[in-house]
Amino acid sequence: MTGRLFTVPNVCSAFRLVVSPLLIALAIIQQRMAFAIFFGAALLSDALDGILARRLRLDSEAGACLDSWSDLALYSAAAVGLAVLIPRLIREELVLVGIMTAGYAIPFAVGWARWQRLTSYHTWGAKVSAMVVGPAMLLMLGVEDVWPLWVAAPIFLASAVEDVLITVILPRWQANVPSLWHALRIRKQERNPFPFFRWDARRRRGTPGKGERPSEGIRDWERPCNGGCCGSRGVGVENLP
């Protein structure tokens, strides 16, 4: 069990948890360069952990939970750090700050209100948003201007709206829902009036042969998850009838 926890992807996630309070401390003592270096390294670890988990087949519920909470801690700490390091820009752009804060808080609040846990959909839109918003925050710190965040804001808000819609549409909590279209498909399949044929509706390779598990050929986002945690590396539980 211990060996399963101390994997390379989990170490990447744990690194972000450790760095998050450090970012706030660096901002308080006005160490801008160190803040930028550690934040950039944390963003890199965020990009690597999911890739490594899939390539090395090291998915686990513990790793999934660690990944989601470390992302939440990192971006929260980065926002606080920027407010400390460049307070003038924050005061001058309260509208943008309010928009970004709402786009961050509303999907979290809606998801928590419905599921009592992090949503952890990790949609394609959220991945694109992370690729844009993180570097934009770094660039904003470097150029001392908010235009990078204005460029990233539409992508970020589109991802936030999609997250809220997925929360409303899904009939049950599930991690790793790539898009709103996938959520609609999950809802349609859950409403199947003929549960005896549910496997057929989800298969990609026809009727299972002798000795073949009926779940083979089903994509990860189609598998229900009854895990008590969340994250981009969650493992679905194959418990359909």
Contact predicate 138/39, CB 8 Å: yes
Widest Cα–Cα separation across the chain: 68
> Is 176 domain-assigned?
no
> Is 24 domain-assigned?
yes
62 has pLDDT over 70: no
Task: Note the pTM of the prediction, 2 decimals.
Answer: 0.72
Question: Nearest Cα to 198, choosing from 187, 206, 190, 207?
Answer: 190
pLDDT attached to residue 179: 93
- Output 190 or 234, whichever has higher pLDDT: 190
> Is 96 domain-assigned?
yes
pLDDT digits (tens, 9 = 90+) for 124-134: 888 888 889 98
> Is 134 domain-assigned?
yes
Domain extent, residue 28, equals 2-169
pLDDT attached to residue 145: 81
- The domain tally of the chain equals 1
Contact predicate 68/118, CB 8 Å: yes
20 has pLDDT over 80: yes
> Is 80 domain-assigned?
yes
pLDDT attached to residue 56: 75
160: tokens are: 């936030």
> Is 88 domain-assigned?
yes
Domain at 47, CATH number: 1.20.120
- Output 229 or 122, whichever has higher pLDDT: 122
What mean pLDDT do residues 46-65 have?
72
Contact predicate 49/59, CB 8 Å: no
Contact predicate 169/189, CB 8 Å: no
pLDDT attached to residue 237: 37
55 has pLDDT over 60: yes
> Is 188 domain-assigned?
no
**Single-letter amino acid code for the residue at 44:** L
> Is 125 domain-assigned?
yes
What mean pLDDT do residues 28-42 have?
94
Contact predicate 175/225, CB 8 Å: yes
59 has pLDDT over 80: no
